[in-house]
């Protein structure tokens, strides 16, 4: 279903279930359907109405080749909440999506009842800057890697050693990566948005109850960066999922879903979340 933003940009979104609304915002290059396999069933079973967003640059949302900002992404989430009549609601953001949600919490706090921030950061460190520069250079070249090589690199970047050392599971993951390669042209507008100044002092003004989730083996957003965000937001909780890489919400969805549902139901989580038996996305 499309909606139009105030600046005329068309955004795609989907709704599932009924009950208390939860808006979910994905990371760089990912469509909203990434939540559909694991998080949507768990949240709808817990009595939530789930609304997933396709961020700018990701079809069917407009590509926005002229570029956009993190503030634009935060405004898009606000527009979606208003469009579906969901505010104040719960919001879940992952990676780049979490950065957008953090800006939403500062700009429009009245729209958000609770927030979950997964694999997030509050500043750009040297490794993030180097990774982003490499991604931009690749995108501005021909933007194409051989499919098998791209899948191998994606596995190394995003999966935990536990998954990489499980040959059967790794073969399944590599097959998924080969079949679901992201169009670099579509994701180009999102590259570089994670290059942010140190926002930790600003996060001290956030009053929305927040759960920050880090993934123990995340090489893209190392968990110490997520812990920094949790320390910056007054009263926030932090949960770290063991044995997961950057794709922790797909590597160990049971643990991630349990943490989200428990938080939304009034629980407070701090420290390590006990691992659950992982399932392949």
* Residue from 62, 76, 135, 218 carrying the catalytic annotation: 218
In this structure, what is the dihedral angle of CA atoms 252, 254, 256, 258, given to the nearest 10 degrees?
A: -160
Place of tokens 């596995």: 155
User: CB atoms < 10 A from the CB of 18, how many?
Assistant: 11
Is 218 annotated as catalytic?
yes
Rounded-to-integer distance, Cα 149 and Cα 241, Å: 28
Rounded-to-integer distance, Cα 203 and Cα 12, Å: 29
SS3 22: strand
Is 224 annotated as catalytic?
no
Give the 3-state secondary structure of 206-272. Answer: CCCCEEEEEECCCCCCCHHHHHHHHHHCCCCEEEEECCCCCCHHHHCHHHHHHHHHHHHCCCCCEEE
Rounded-to-integer distance, Cα 27 and Cα 157, Å: 14
- Among 196, 199, 198, 230, residue whose Cα is nearest residue 214: 230
Burial 260-271 (b: 16+ CB within 10 A, else e): bbbbbeeeebee
Which pair of structure tokens corresponds to residue 244?
Answer: 């997961």
Distances (CA, A) of 69 to 66, 80, 85, 169, 212: 11, 17, 25, 37, 23
The partner residues of 214 in beta bridges, in order of sequence, read 240
4, 39 in Cβ contact below 8 A?
no
* Residue from 72, 236, 246, 258 carrying the catalytic annotation: 246
* Residue from 61, 95, 226, 236 carrying the catalytic annotation: 95
Active site residues: 95, 218, 246
């Amino acid at each position: 279903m499309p909606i139009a933003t105030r600046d005329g940009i068309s955004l795609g979104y989907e709704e599932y279930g009924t009950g208390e609304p939860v808006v979910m915002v994905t990371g760089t290059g990912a469509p909203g359907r990434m939540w559909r396999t694991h998080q949507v069933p768990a949240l709808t079973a817990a009595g939530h109405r789930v609304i997933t967003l396709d961020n700018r640059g990701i079809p069917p949302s407009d590509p926005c080749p002229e570029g956009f900002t993190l503030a634009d992404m935060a405004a898009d989430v606000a527009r979606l909440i208003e469009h579906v009549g969901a505010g104040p609601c719960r919001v879940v953001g992952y990676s780049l999506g979490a950065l957008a949600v953090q800006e939403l919490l500062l700009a429009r706090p009245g729209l958000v009842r609770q927030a979950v921030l997964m694999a997030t950061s509050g500043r750009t460190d040297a490794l993030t800057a180097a990774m982003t520069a490499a991604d931009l250079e690749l995108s501005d070249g021909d933007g194409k890697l051989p499919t098998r090589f791209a899948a191998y690199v994606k596995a190394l970047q995003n999966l935990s050693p536990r998954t990489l050392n499980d040959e059967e599971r790794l073969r399944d993951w590599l097959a998924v990566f080969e079949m679901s390669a992201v169009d670099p042209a579509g994701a180009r507008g999102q590259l570089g948005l994670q290059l942010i100044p140190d926002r930790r002092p600003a996060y001290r003004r956030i009053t929305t109850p927040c759960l920050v989730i880090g993934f123990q083996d995340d090489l893209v957003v190392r968990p110490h960066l997520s812990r920094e965000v949790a320390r910056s937001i007054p009263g926030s909780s932090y949960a770290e999922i063991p044995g997961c890489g950057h794709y922790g919400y797909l590597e160990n969805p049971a643990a991630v879903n349990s943490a989200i549902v428990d938080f939304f139901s009034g629980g407070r989580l701090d420290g390590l979340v006990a691992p659950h038996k992982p399932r392949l996305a």
